[in-house]
Amino acid sequence: MRHATAPMVGVGLFIVVPKIWRMKADQPRRKPRKWSLGQALDTGYVRSLPLNFVQLLFLELAGIAGFFEKLLFGAAGDVAGLFTIVLGCTFIASLLVWPSVWLFNRPKIVVPPALRDERGALELWWHSRRAPPH
């Protein structure tokens, strides 16, 4: 599985994420959904894409470090094991941050600069429910 996601991580980190970070990427065009969080979730999805690719990078690096932990002996193997633990914990921490970026647009440091002043998906959904119909 690790080998299957490596090209996706590379393309994402070097092509997709910089475009989204500078807001030069095309916005996803999807059919309107019948369920209640449609447009708000699409906005949150675009806002959280850079973090998703960074999460995959942490996961890939943890897998590589785990491979070297088994391959190396002595102190080098211990260092690789430590990297595996640190990268794994960073991956788990980023998983905990991801819903916050999607729903609340927080913490601002992991949100693309052009989207930092926008409302989170939950707030967008709430205001769209309260808005009068067009």
Give residue-wise pLDDT tens across range 12-44: 667 777 777 777 655 555 555 555 457 777 778
Is pLDDT larger for residue 90 or for residue 46?
90
What is the amino acid identity at position 46? V
Contact 101, 109 (CB under 8 A): no
The pLDDT value given to residue 34 = 53
Backbone angles phi, psi at 128, to 5 degrees: -70, -30
Rounded distance, CA 119 to CA 133, Å?
A: 20
Q: Check residue 115 and give its pLDDT.
A: 84
Model pLDDT, residue 9: 65
| Mean pLDDT, rounded, for 41-65 | 86
Q: What mean pLDDT comes out for the span 92-111?
A: 91
Q: What pLDDT does residue 83 have?
A: 93
If DSSP codes are grouped into helix, strand and coil, which group holds residue 35? coil
Using one digit for the tens of pLDDT, what is the confidence trace for 61-88? 898 899 998 899 899 999 999 999 999 9
Question: Token pair 């080098």 is at which residue?
Answer: 76
pLDDT tens digits, 117-134: 888 888 887 877 776 665
